[in-house]
Amino acid sequence: MAGAVEHPDIRYVVYPVHLDGTLTGAKPGLRHDPGCSHFEWRDGTHLGTPVLATDEQMQSPNACKSCIGRRGESPREIRQSQSRGGNKHQDAQGAYVDTQAIAAIKAHHASDLFDWAKLLRLIDELNDNYARGSTYAAHAVLRAILDHIPPLLGCATFTAAANNYPWSRTDKAYMRRLLDFRLQADDAMHRQISAQTDLLSLGDIPPRAWINRLLQECASPSGTLKVGREDTAAAARPMQRPKK
Where b means 16+ CB within 10 Å and e means fewer, 129-160 reads: bbbbbbbebbbbbbbbbbeebbbbbbbeebee
**Mean of the pLDDT values across residues 178-203?**
88
**Separation CA 101–CA 99 (nearest Å):** 5
Q: Which ranges constitute the DSSP H helices of 112-165?
A: 117-132, 135-148, 158-164
List all residues 6 or more positions away from 136 whose beta carbon is below 8 Å from its beta carbon: 188, 189, 200
Q: What is the pLDDT of residues 103-162, one digit of tens each?
A: 888 887 666 678 899 999 999 999 988 888 888 999 999 999 999 999 999 999 999 999
Alpha carbon separation from 12 to 6, 35, 145, 189 (Å, rounded): 13, 10, 24, 24
Q: What is the pLDDT of residues 31-48, one digit of tens each?
A: 887 667 666 654 555 567
227 vs 17, higher pLDDT? 17
For residue 232, the model assigns a pLDDT of 46
Q: Which helix (H) or strand (E) holds 52?
A: strand 51-52
At 11, the pLDDT band (50, 70, 90 cuts) reads: confident
**Per-domain residue ranges for the chain?**
1-71, 95-194+202-238
For residue 45, the model assigns a pLDDT of 56
For residue 86, the model assigns a pLDDT of 42
How many CA atoms lie within 13 Å of 204's alpha carbon, on the beta-carbon side? Answer: 19
**Separation CA 138–CA 122 (nearest Å):** 10
Q: Please state the pTM of the whole predicted model.
A: 0.59
